[in-house]
Chain A
Amino acid sequence: MHKSSWTCLRLDRSPADFGEALWCNVGPFWRERTMSVVTTLLGDMEKSIAWPLGERVGIRFEKSVSPRAFVEKLLCDEGFASPEDLREVFEVPRMPLACRSLGDEVRSDSFVRMTDEPRTVLRQALILGLCGPHHYDPSKAVIWTDNRLSRQLDLFVPGRFYADN
């Protein structure tokens, strides 16, 4: 019988080799080349569903300095008892934001330097202390560690996931 003869498929051949009759049964043909698809919702405003960049944060410290020790001294010098007190002084984003860590290729002049105005540094330190591994969350406690304070991050405003038709 003509139809049953198709049940003996040799899988080492491309479906294209079997002719048009089989195309409908196997779906799209597999590609024989590898391609990387790289795209992001973050910051690319040409996309209709882009998540806009809210703020870029980061402090450039000298290598010999412990970021936490430096910022804690600055806090003390400015007359604050705890990092939590900074919330009353500085305006910080009020909603949770998505964090993306930046590599060293980003120009260093786009960040605050440790020698800048102390209050500018402290505001950055406050925001960095509220950034977890992936999110900035203003409702969390401020955590100052060397690791957190030495990060350079872009913060994005979460938007939509689905584009309009």
Chain B
Amino acid sequence: MQITEQHFNSILLELIDENPIASRGILRVSEVEFTTDVPTLAIRITGKPKLCVNLDFVSEHCHNETHVKSVVIHEFLHVLLNHTERFKRMTPALNLALDAVINAIIHRTLGSEYSDMMSTYYGDAKGRVRLLRQMADGEQGKRGADPENDRFNEIWKSLYEGKLVVDDLIDIAESIGDQGEDDLSLDEGTFLGNHSPERNDGEEISPEVEAALRETLSSMTGAGIWRKPFDRGVGLQYGGMEVSAAERAMHLWEKEAVKVLTRCVTPDRNSIFEHEPQPISLPVLNEGDKRGFLRSLWSPFLPDIVWNTEKKVRRGTTQIYLDVSGSMNHEMDALVSLIWRLRRFIRLPFWAFSDTVEPAEIRNGRLVTSTTGGTSMDAVLRHVALTRPGKAVVITDGYIENCDRDLIKAVSGQDIRAIVSRDGSPAQLERAGIPYSQLGRFAYDQNS
């Protein structure tokens, strides 16, 4: 099929519009470059993302527009899986296994119209390279004649039926690689896609690609690609990989931060008790649960009637004030999760301060509040003077405005402490006479 640059661009735009396997993110940010430097197609993800296309290859081997889309999707899946699986080194067997898994994903998720490209291109492939296309009718042969061949056929079939997925890549590579690497290449031509021998760790992928991959992983289900998609960050779990990369450093920071927090938020032996409502279920009617009462009139089951009772709990006395002016954004989430562990000693809601003090709550694991952008300690002191919690902890970077002397006097009976981030400045707090503890270096800053 003779294909021009304009025609290729139109097909690409159509593909972006159709968005198969949530590929839109990567394809949209990639600039198209027509070149003969690549044998087939390749997506470059370092620097400005680029889709390099060898138009001669496309014209020679793609017989219709769906074939063109198929090779583009093949490239996209290379980028996605290289990124999520983080291969240290590409062996010929792993290379073949990766390509086979990608082609099987295309076949299963987009249908035989798409996988027809691979069936045609690898139609004459022999030996283990046949994994790159769907098994043709009658190709399986008789079972039992050759156990080695039976084993290979089992892998081949399972791959295209979706029983083997990306999670099994290493196992597939080992299975096909244990017979040597002699026939792991094509007699003629080249494999589809970009096949660099090893990952260059010095090359960082661009933030644009990073964001596009995040968009892809958060908008796809991952079904048919991974056995347990959530392990790979699908559905907004993508951040997990970054956390594991800095796991040890993060652990040290957490340990240190908990120590500082516990010092400030210790249980107060003089704190008063309060009664917390606690619903319990009893098979005894009361006039409060009218719905249960009505149900008992017709239901043959023993009724579950809700009784509202109370439980005596020690009231948390410490009031927490978080600096949400923006300068502590990168470590605030981690701090909030640590504070949440100590919540039984803390009076809820939290308070967030900028130029004003606003209530802050945790929704879906995130701190939700409002901010005006400044950092005024006077607002906190005024709030403490008004509410008189007994104990207050201010978490800040210390870059605050001068404190009003009258307000400091007004809160003199209150135990106010501050926790200052590692890069913060405690000078103002010292001047105001507020005791403080400084946190360790945040895990993500360790190498900076």
**Given A3-B300, A25-B300, are A144 and B17 neighbors across the interface (CB < 8 Å)?**
no
The chain A residue with its CB closest to the CB of B1 is A66
CB pair A6 B10 closer than 8 Å: no
Which chain B residues (1-53) contact chain A, with CB distance < 8 Å?
7, 10-11, 13-14, 17-18
* B-contacting 9-mer, from A27-35, A50-58, A145-153: A145-153
The answer, among B11, B13, B14, B298, for a CB contact under 8 Å with A24, is B298
Q: Say what secondary structure dominates the interface of chain A.
A: helix
User: B10, B18, B299: which has the most chain A beta carbons within 10 Å?
Assistant: B10
Min CB distance A4 to B, Å, is 6
For A2, the chain B residues whose CB sits under 8 A away are 300
The tally of residues in B whose CB lies under 8 Å from a CB in A reads 15
CB pair B11 A145 closer than 8 Å: yes
CB pair A4 B302 closer than 8 Å: yes
The chain B residue with its CB closest to the CB of A135 is B17
In the complex, the number of residue pairs spanning A and B with C-beta atoms less than 8 Å apart equals: 40
For A6, the chain B residues whose CB sits under 8 A away are 300-301
CB pair B299 A145 closer than 8 Å: no
CB pair B17 A146 closer than 8 Å: no
Residue B64 CB within 8 A of the other chain: yes
**Given A3-B300, A3-B302, A25-B300, are A143 and B18 neighbors across the interface (CB < 8 Å)?**
no
For B7, the chain A residues whose CB sits under 8 A away are 68, 145
CA distance A148 to B299 in the complex (A): 60
CA distance A147 to B301 in the complex (A): 62
Min CB distance B65 to A, Å, is 5
> 1/0 contact trace for B293-319 toward A, CB 8 Å?
000001111100000000000000000
20 CB < 8 A contacts A-B: A2-B300, A3-B300, A3-B302, A6-B301, A24-B298, A25-B300, A132-B17, A132-B18, A140-B17, A141-B13, A143-B14, A143-B17, A145-B7, A145-B10, A145-B11, A145-B14, A145-B65, A146-B64, A146-B65, A147-B14
Taking beta carbons and an 8 Å cutoff, which residues of B are in contact with A? 7, 10-11, 13-14, 17-18, 64-66, 298-302
Q: Which 6 A-B pairs give the minimum distances between C-beta atoms?
A: A6-B300, A132-B17, A143-B13, A145-B10, A145-B14, A3-B300
Taking beta carbons and an 8 Å cutoff, which residues of A are in contact with B? 2-4, 6-7, 21-22, 24-25, 68, 132-133, 140-141, 143-148
Q: Other CB < 8 Å A-B pairs besides A3-B301, A25-B301, 10 of them?
A: A3-B302, A4-B302, A6-B300, A7-B301, A25-B299, A68-B10, A133-B17, A133-B18, A145-B11, A146-B64
